[in-house]
Every structure is written in structure tokens, then in C-alpha cells.
Amino acid sequence: MKARDEAEFTEFAAITIRRLRRTAYLMCGDWHRAEDAAQDALVKVYRHWNRINRTDSLIGYAHRCVVTAVLDQSRKPWRRERLDDTGEDLRPLPDAVGSVDDRLLVIEALHHLSPSQRACVVLRHYADLSLEQTADILGISVGGVKSQTSRGLGRLREVLLDQTERSAS
């Protein structure tokens, strides 16, 4: 790789790593797995840097790589166990405002969605990507993105309503 390309990639990686890590975290709920997925995505971007058309959505390609990395990780047998399955209560103490609690409830609720629904909801509503960008990243039609997002949001409403009812009683 040329020195100029190396510098461009380094700048791109520094700018996007946090965004990719947060997207991966919302998909998998584990910061360690999210870090691995973001790094795997950047490795793939690096390997294809000379072939990537940078006039198109470079961040879209990186998002596609991170989504694929998260989904690939979840298929590996040693990754199927989650830390909270140990029976230990790992929740932090509630904060005065409750924003951390709300965030944790949403992240926990995301795990009740199928991987495709979770990917659509995260990419559309967290990463703020368009229908077309999300469809391109996931390799599905725009209609598929619409239906998966709609079903995912409906399921999120059900889960969050159930969680708030349980906590109120």
C-alpha cells in the first residue's frame, strides 16, 4: 500500500472506529465482541482499500463489514453464551436521572429481536442510514428493510412494555 493510501486509511479508521464499535455493541450487547467486530471490519476495509471506490459510501462498506462480523461471531459456538447468562446480576446501580437504566433496557430489548431485525433497527435508527443504504449493507431489498424494521420496532415495543410492567409491579 502506498504511503498516501496508508495515511488515508489511518485517518478513516481513527474517525470511524467509535461509530463502528457502537453499532456492533447495539447489535451484540457485549463491548468485547463489539471491539472485535469493529477491528475485523477495519481489517477487511484495509485489505480492500485499493479496490474500494471511495466516491461511494465508504462508511457504508465499513458498516456492511461490521454487521457481517457481528453475525459471523454469533454463529460461532463459543460465542453463543452471553455474560449475563451466568446468573450473576451485572447491572450497574441506577443513576439519578435514569438515562443509563433506559439505555440498558433498550439494549436488553434489542436481544429479543432476530439478527436481521436487530441489524435493520440499529442501522436505520441508530446509525441513521437511509433505507437504500441499509438495504445495500444487508444485501436485501428496500421492502425487506421496511418490513424487518417495522417488525423489529413492533417487537421492541412489546418487550419494553413488558419490561416496564414487570418493574412497576
pLDDT above 70: residue 55: no
* 19 or 95, which is more confident: 19
What's the topology of domain 1-83? Answer: Rna Polymerase Sigma Factor; Chain: A (1.10.1740)
Per-residue pLDDT of 107-160, as tens digits, reads 888 999 999 999 999 999 988 899 999 999 999 999 999 999 999 999 999 998
Average pLDDT over residues 24-39: 91
Q: Is the pLDDT of residue 78 over 70?
A: no
Helix H, strand E, coil C: the string for the chain is CCHHHHHHHHHHHHHHHHHHHHHHHHHHCCHHHHHHHHHHHHHHHHHCCCCCCCCCCHHHHHHHHHHHHHHHHHHCHHHCCCHHHHCCCCCCCCCCCCHHHHHHHHHHHHCCCCHHHHHHHHHHHHCCCCHHHHHHHHCCCHHHHHHHHHHHHHHHHHHHHHHHHHHHC
Dihedral sign computed on CA atoms, order 151, 23, 116, 89: negative
Q: Does the domain spanning 91-169 belong to CATH 2.130.10.10?
A: no
Of the given ranges (16-25, 63-72, 77-86), which has the lowest mean pLDDT? 77-86
Confidence at residue 100, expressed as pLDDT on a 0 to 100 scale: 57
Mean pLDDT, all residues of the chain: 83
Report pLDDT digits (tens) over 82-103: 444 444 444 555 555 555 567 7
Domain ranges of the chain: 1-83, 91-169
Cβ-contact 116, 148 below 8 angstroms: yes
pLDDT for position 59 = 86
| Amino acid 52: pLDDT | 80
